[in-house]
Amino acid sequence: MYGTNCTTHANVPAIFSPVGLLTSPRTPPSPMSNRFLEPLELCYRSLCDCGDKTVADGSLLDFLRQVSTFGLSLVKLDIRQESDRHTDALDAITAHLGIGSYRSWPEEKRQEWLLSELRGRRPLFGGDLPMTEEVADVLGTFRVLAELPPDCFGAYIISMATAPSDVLAVELLQRECHVGHPLRVVPLFEKLADLEAAPAAVARLFSIDWYMDRIGGKQEVMIGYSDSGKDAGRLSAAWQLYKAQEELVKVAKQYGVKLTMFHGRGGTVGRGGGPTHLAILSQPPETVNGSLRVTVQGEVIEHSFGEEHLCFRTLQRFTAATLEHGMHPPVSPKPEWRALMDEMAVVATEEYRAMVFKEPRFVEYFRSATPETEYGRMNIGSRPSKRKPSGGIETLRAIPWIFAWTQTRFHLPVWLGFGAAFKHIMHKDIRNVQALREMYNEWPFFRVTLDLLEMVFAKGDPGIAALYDELLVADELKPLGEQLRSNYEDTKKLLVQVAGHRDVLEDDPYLKQRLRLRDPYITTLNVCQAYTLKRIRDPSFQVTAQPPLSKEFTDENQPASLVKLNAASEYAPGLEDTLILTMKGIAAGMQNTG
């Protein structure tokens, strides 16, 4: 399940009228719910007939309404799996049938074969299908979908979707595993190239008669903020997400399909997070149309839904922004603004990838200067830190990628690329400075993008990042850190120049003050974490810096009395607990505000 999904369009629930009759809901209860409701309705009517309507209208009526509204499963579970895992399953099937390797087929051949099977009725495999553990896991998931009541599930999300065959593959696997009520299939386009190709992929699906009959005029498409940012940097990802939505809406209109955009946002700015109201209002015109779907990630669920009043406030924010977007659509960017953004995005992507994927020393520096390695070894994440055990940044999930840089207050994935883009545009033509300010003042998308970047700079502290470097990074890698911190400062100066400000968050003194109040507490945690990481990586290290830390922290022979000891830890007593406490504290202090 991908986070918790919050929608701004809820179905009208089934309710009981004062006389006890079930009204017709827009989405009727499932057959299993109806079977469960029948004896309860009988009890209700019997109580009413006996003159005990007051009793009937108490907890029994409340319970009937709850079952009618939510069903027996309460919350529908979304299923999510990567497209490559489906490819592996189909490759095993085609190899078993002796018709070749599905994985090696070109896209057109995949589509042709999938459609021929979907239009036919023959079973593709039985119990004798040779399976790896991964293939068995995929097929086992589909078999569970077939066994459980259909109202338990929502959508089947295909992460890392790239082509129409990814969607058709899931449709075929659902049929082969006898899923009686197939889940709606939602492709999730994440990387930059996949977002660029998404409109064409969706258009191809809509051109298939079988598929159009299957979806009944409705389609959900998910776009990923986290992995697109990790792939190309925040600026380029944000702009490509904007353009992809515009084109997807055009495709849906062309084929007469009701399109719902599903936003795969994370909690932090680097993963597409930010104040809800501003995020929705910055979406392209005609991409909301009264409804949208978003993920509410694990790290911010408590912040948004931890208490009853927070739930209502969150719903109000989504509802108000959705209505406002429809009644007062944001302005469309001028052609000259689009041209500037296209040019800036190319430059930003080049700088970002040159450092993250092409700089030979970067991975080693990243793993030395941040707690990414320790985070991956500790059981505090919702998913494994990597998609594959080996590989570099490309196999690392977006959550630990952002999390690690957030811990050191450097936030590199958010700002890297912006500076080069600003500098390129300004040096090309000095008049572009005024054009950028015009974009900032008149275009909600651009303003929100820069305002969130300002907020990140207000939270950041390159001095803290320098402390991590001093303690944890090898001498031969320290020049790379100095280069990045210089880039950080240059980007910050260019940002306030483009926004027409003297300092970050000049237009939001209240937020600036709140962040200033947090700073001493977070800094203390940062210092504690940096020295803890040093102790973990170098057990012979002795703390001599001033101010001195407690005896329990510095003396290897003393237990860490201030934290609960973790007997299962591979580290010295208390070190892992200390690290977890500092990680959670810093993460809480870095949360978005607004």
Q: Please name the amino acid found at residue 539.
A: P
Q: Is residue 512 classed exposed, middle or buried when 0-12, 13-18 and 19+ CB atoms within 10 A define those classes? A: middle
Distance CA 471, CA 517 (A): 27
**Cα separations in angstroms, 557 against 72, 536, 539, 545, 553:** 55, 15, 12, 19, 10
Tokens representing residue 300 in the block: 């911010």
Q: Going by DSSP bridges, is the β-strand pair 77-82/4-7 parallel, antiparallel, or unpaired?
A: unpaired
CB 153 within 8 A of CB 145: yes
Q: What are phi and psi of 225, to 5 degrees?
A: -85, -35
Distance CA 317, CA 311 (A): 10
Nearest Cα residue to 402 out of 277, 513, 273, 507: 273
Q: Is residue 189 classed exposed, middle or buried when 0-12, 13-18 and 19+ CB atoms within 10 A define those classes? A: buried
Q: Which residues partner with 159 through β-bridges?
A: 82
Output b/e per residue, 61-83; b: 16+ Cβ within 10 A. Answer: beebeebbbbbebeebebbbbbb
| DSSP-derived secondary structure for 405-429 | HHHTT--HHHHTTHHHHHHHHHHH-
CB 362 within 8 A of CB 483: no
Helices 418-428/234-255 angle, 10° precision: 90
From the list 191, 230, 243, 492, the catalytic residue is 230
Q: What is the DSSP letter of 152?
A: G
The CB-side HSE value for 515 (13 A sphere, CA atoms) comes to 22
Helices 83-97/133-147 angle, 10° precision: 100
Tokens representing residue 396 in the block: 């690392």
Distance CA 234, CA 411 (A): 11
CB 202 within 8 A of CB 248: yes
- Is 230 an annotated catalytic residue? yes
What element of type H or E holds 4?
Answer: strand 4-7
Distance CA 200, CA 89 (A): 25
Q: Please name the amino acid found at residue 329.
A: P
Tokens representing residue 172 in the block: 């075929």
Q: Please name the amino acid found at residue 588.
A: A
CB 410 within 8 A of CB 462: yes
Nearest Cα residue to 196 out of 158, 235, 247: 247
Residue 98 CB contacts under 8 Å (≥ 6 apart), including other chains: none
What number of other Cβ atoms are within 10 A of residue 12's Cβ?
11
CB 299 within 8 A of CB 587: yes
CB 6 within 8 A of CB 311: no
Instruction: Enumerate the active-site residues.
Output: 230
